[in-house]
Amino acid sequence: MPTMHPRSRPLHLLLALSLAGCGAGGSPSVSEPASSPGQPATSDAPATSASAATTPSPTPSPVPSETSCHGPGNFEPLPAGTSCWIDIATDDDMPVRVRYTIPAAWWFSFIGAYKDVEDGDGDQLVNVLVANIENVTVDACNRQQPAQPAVGPTVDDLAAALSTLPPFEVTSPPMEVTAYGYAGVHLQIRIPLELAYRDDFESFVGCQQSTLMSWIAPPLSFAFHGYVAPGDTEDFWILDVEGTRVAIAALATATASNELRAEQRAVLDSIEIEP
């Protein structure tokens, strides 16, 4: 059986981040207590049977909690059923809110949510991240500084930058889609299988800091570098939400089980965008 990792700072997501503001999530909803059993019968009222008097009222089902999943340094556990939200800043100070639901145990918060599992075949990781990606690095392996000039403002600008970012290879080219009610572009990139890698150190040979650093978005203080090994794939849905570019990124390791991928799909399927 896989061993779940309740790690507050998992190995593949230690990003050396400085917090740019972890939103304090909304307070969990609290169910009203069950109504009290009826008062004992008085001497001038018919007696109630013992079984009827002690039968408790039905307990309401718990209401799932709601929380902000902005925190790129908290790595807080997210119980199954948690309703998460992330706000994407806009030019008019009216943020776009993205909501989604955590389908199972052992998911953790980041700028979105991720799950990290270890078994005898190696580490498995999936995530669903939500951000306004503003830029990419020059080269995710060898030149990890931000690209200059920065990526342009449109959906197509970002799709082009991600699909030409070395050393990733494109496994699904940019394609126009409608997702979550908005027009945009989908693409998928993959870490090349031939990229040199030391499994015992979990590091990419020859890359700066032994890792890959790709896209740049607030509130991260550095480029995202949660990649695990060759064969990892990352899907992007880059959407135009009434003039605000919103990117949904979904990373999966090559070792991710069907069960883990199904949970990732459940998170993606639960997404709702509120402009």
Q: pLDDT, tens digit, for every residue of 11-63? A: 444 443 433 333 333 322 333 333 333 333 333 433 444 333 444 444 443 44
If one compares 143 and 119, the residue with the highest pLDDT of the two is 143
Q: pLDDT, tens digit, for every residue of 233-246? A: 999 999 999 999 99
Quick one: tokens of 78?
């997210």
Q: Is the peptide bond before 219 cis (omega within 30 degrees of 0)?
A: yes
pTM: 0.78
**54 occurs within a structural domain:** no
Give the model's confidence band at 72: pLDDT under 50 very low, under 70 low, under 90 confident, else very high: low
**22 occurs within a structural domain:** no
CA distances from 57 to 34, 60, 62 (A): 6, 9, 15
Q: For 124-144, what is the mean pLDDT?
A: 96
Q: Domain range holding 237?
A: 61-274
Region of poorest pLDDT, from 44-58, 101-115, 166-180: 44-58
Phi first, then psi: give them for residue 259, nearest 5 degrees.
Answer: -65, -45
Phi first, then psi: give them for residue 223, nearest 5 degrees.
Answer: -65, 150
pLDDT of residue 27: 29
Give the model's confidence band at 115: pLDDT under 50 very low, under 70 low, under 90 confident, else very high: very high
pLDDT of residue 14: 44
Quick one: tokens of 62?
């718990």
Query: Over the chain, what is the mean pLDDT?
Result: 80
**23 occurs within a structural domain:** no
Percent pLDDT > 70 in the chain is 72
If one compares 169 and 54, the residue with the highest pLDDT of the two is 169
Q: For 149-154, what is the mean pLDDT?
A: 96
Q: pLDDT, tens digit, for every residue of 181-224? A: 999 999 999 999 999 999 877 799 999 999 999 999 988 888 99
pLDDT of residue 7: 42
Q: Is the peptide bond before 230 cis (omega within 30 degrees of 0)?
A: no
**105 occurs within a structural domain:** yes
Quick one: tokens of 40?
């004992």
**148 occurs within a structural domain:** yes
**Number of structural domains in the chain:** 1
**84 occurs within a structural domain:** yes
**38 occurs within a structural domain:** no
Give the model's confidence band at 119: pLDDT under 50 very low, under 70 low, under 90 confident, else very high: confident
**Rounded to 5°, angle at Cα 213 from 88 and 268:** 45
Q: For 251-266, what is the mean pLDDT?
A: 96
**95 occurs within a structural domain:** yes
